[in-house]
Amino acid sequence: MPFHLHFGEVDLLRFRFALSPLWETQEAVRTLTRPERHGYHLPWLRRIREAAGGLELAPLRLLMPLRGHTPDFLGPPPIGPAASFEEEIAAVRSADPVAAREDIRQSLVCTPGAVESAAGLALLADPARAVRELADLLERAWQVLVEPEWPRLRALLEADVAYHSRRLAEVGLEGLLAELHPALSWQDRTLTLARKGEHVRDLDGRGLVLMPSVFAWPDVVSGFEPPWQPTVVYPARGIGSLWTEAGSSTPEALARLLGRARADVLCALDEPAGTTALAHRLGLAPSSVSAHLSVLRGAGLLTSRRYGHQVLYERTPLGIALTAAQPS
């Protein structure tokens, strides 16, 4: 549904960026069962496949409907700009069982039959135990799925925050919010997330948290009911280069398939870029790069998006899979 967030004067002063290892853990669990996300994370999926098979994540997945409410207490907005996973999971463990039970119930009703299922009834019957067990599952998922990769993930997320902080200084809040995702728009002190239906919310002086996410890509998420601070989670920049090794060159097999220059253009898109930037990086004429981009986009390997006067190109899941492919 269109999600309208109305800003007051004070809200404009309480606007901040944040990172959350707990949120990435929750979205990593979600990514395991969402094939539409797999193209962005194939090297990671290969690395964690065996270890992930030993995780019993069914109770968490039951509370992650494809559309609808996920309990806020399982992934609250970060408590600080550099909160550790240990600090965040401690906040989950301290959740009020009464409030957590209602949070769980709201999530279960989003999945037909979940409330009446044995697992759903068990969660509702003893919410204090549910909080403990769900926190234990999140901690185990963090250790297996995310913690080994966290330095790499954190570097990408911090780079995103640095970039958008500069953009905030260059184009202001209105310009920044319109750039974060095509589903977001800003008008008359109202941030709108395009969805079906209608939902309106006043920030009431609580301000807004903007949080980049790796595993939420390509979705944008907004919500969090009181007492949580309103938050918008958006896809982090540079996802195309996340799992590639520094200094890796264009694979020879890909060069033979696409042609050297065209393959170089595809592999150079570690993050969204325009024609001029790519031409400078590769030492090619802008007209040649433009022609290659057009062919790659027509083949479904790139998408394009206009930002102001420039068009930025980025890899599709198929494009990411081709550049990340390893010889067997």
**Range scoring the smallest mean pLDDT among 52-56, 136-140, 205-209:** 205-209
Give the type of residue at 170: E
pLDDT confidence of residue 88: 93
**CATH number of the domain where residue 283 is located:** 1.10.10.10
Phi-psi region of 223 (alpha: psi -120 to 50; beta: other; left: phi over 0): left
The answer to whether 193 and 184 are in contact (CB under 8 A) is yes
How confident is the model over 254-269, as a mean pLDDT?
89
pLDDT confidence of residue 218: 82
Neighbours of 145 (CB within 10 A): 24
Q: Which of 210, 238, 266 is the last residue of a domain?
A: 238
Q: Identify whether residues 250 and 195 lie together within a single domain.
A: no
Q: Identify whether residues 143 and 158 lie together within a single domain.
A: no
- Which of the pair, 272 or 103, is modelled with greater confidence? 103
**Range scoring the smallest mean pLDDT among 185-189, 202-206, 271-275:** 271-275
Residue 308 has pLDDT above 60, yes or no: no
What does the pLDDT look like over 41-81, one tens digit per residue?
988 999 999 998 889 999 999 999 888 888 989 987 777 66
Q: Identify whether residues 174 and 125 lie together within a single domain.
A: no
Q: Which of 220, 238, 256 is the last residue of a domain?
A: 238
**Alpha-carbon span 212 to 215, nearest angstrom:** 10
Residue 307 has pLDDT above 60, yes or no: no
Q: Which of 222, 238, 254 is the last residue of a domain?
A: 238
- Which of the pair, 242 or 313, is modelled with greater confidence? 313
Q: Identify whether residues 210 and 299 lie together within a single domain.
A: no
pLDDT confidence of residue 327: 52
Phi-psi region of 113 (alpha: psi -120 to 50; beta: other; left: phi over 0): left
- Domain extent, residue 302, equals 244-324
Q: Identify whether residues 314 and 226 lie together within a single domain.
A: no
Q: Identify whether residues 258 and 208 lie together within a single domain.
A: no
Q: Identify whether residues 190 and 46 lie together within a single domain.
A: no
Residue 313 has pLDDT above 70, yes or no: yes
Residue 6 has pLDDT above 60, yes or no: yes
Q: Identify whether residues 90 and 164 lie together within a single domain.
A: no
Q: Identify whether residues 41 and 85 lie together within a single domain.
A: yes
Q: Identify whether residues 145 and 181 lie together within a single domain.
A: no
pLDDT confidence of residue 189: 86
* Average predicted confidence (pLDDT) for the chain: 85
Number of domain units in the chain:
3
Q: Identify whether residues 156 and 214 lie together within a single domain.
A: yes
- Which of the pair, 225 or 218, is modelled with greater confidence? 218
pLDDT confidence of residue 1: 56
- Which of the pair, 124 or 269, is modelled with greater confidence? 124
Q: Identify whether residues 55 and 162 lie together within a single domain.
A: no
What does the pLDDT look like over 19-29, one tens digit per residue?
999 999 999 99
